[in-house]
Amino acid sequence: MDPQSLRKGPTKPTLVLLCCVGTWLAICCPSFGAPTASMIKTIVELLKLESKELYEDYLKKDAVGVPTDESLQLPCFTLGFEASTNISIIQAYLETAKRLSDNRADTANVTKRLDDIRCSNPPKPSIYEPEDFYARKIFTLTVLKRFSDCMAELKVKDRIC
């Protein structure tokens, strides 16, 4: 008998194929970490409620009589190809609003939920931070209102990416 025919185990091409399939499954299959349709729906519903509560609480407790800045616009993400980029931008605004409000606008839960439905990690942009106390309140209130309005209009789909 030929010693080559006695060799047991996978060949190099088989190992390469298994590695590629494993990577593909890890990226594309819901069971490997990507959110399922029901998870997306639940997260979006929670985001709708929490974003509204966050805005209303900040308005009542810290920004009574403070106007919003009509020139400040946030992207309103849709559950599609550009979702990760828009989510990253929205998170940057929310984190800035939290910092400018001395953590009175606690956006941690909302930011975490956005992380849960984001497909990739694009770089976060730098956001202009007003220095004046009143301008900070306007900025924070506007960000929270824009995000709440965006979430209220968002329609849930089965896929994000």
What would the pLDDT profile of 75-107 be if each residue is shown by its tens digit? 887 777 778 889 999 999 999 999 999 999 999
Percentage of residues in the chain with pLDDT exceeding 90? Answer: 55
In this prediction, residue 118 has a pLDDT band, given cuts at 50, 70 and 90, of confident
Question: What pTM, to 2 d.p., does this model score?
Answer: 0.75
> 86-90 long-range CB contacts below 8 Å, 24 or more apart?
87/114, 87/117, 87/118, 88/118, 88/121, 88/122, 88/123, 88/124, 88/125, 89/124, 89/125, 90/114, 90/147, 90/150
Paired tokens of 148: 């709440």
pLDDT at 15: 46
136 or 34: which carries more pLDDT confidence?
A: 136
Q: Per-residue pLDDT for 13 more than 70?
A: no
| pLDDT tens column, 59-69 | 999 999 999 99
Residues 6+ positions from 46 with CB-CB distance below 8 Å: 113
Cα separation of the two ends of the chain: 54
Residue 39: what residue type?
M
Residues 6+ positions from 64 with CB-CB distance below 8 Å: none
pLDDT at 154: 85
- Residue ranges per structural domain of the chain: 35-153
Residue 66: what residue type?
V
pLDDT at 34: 65
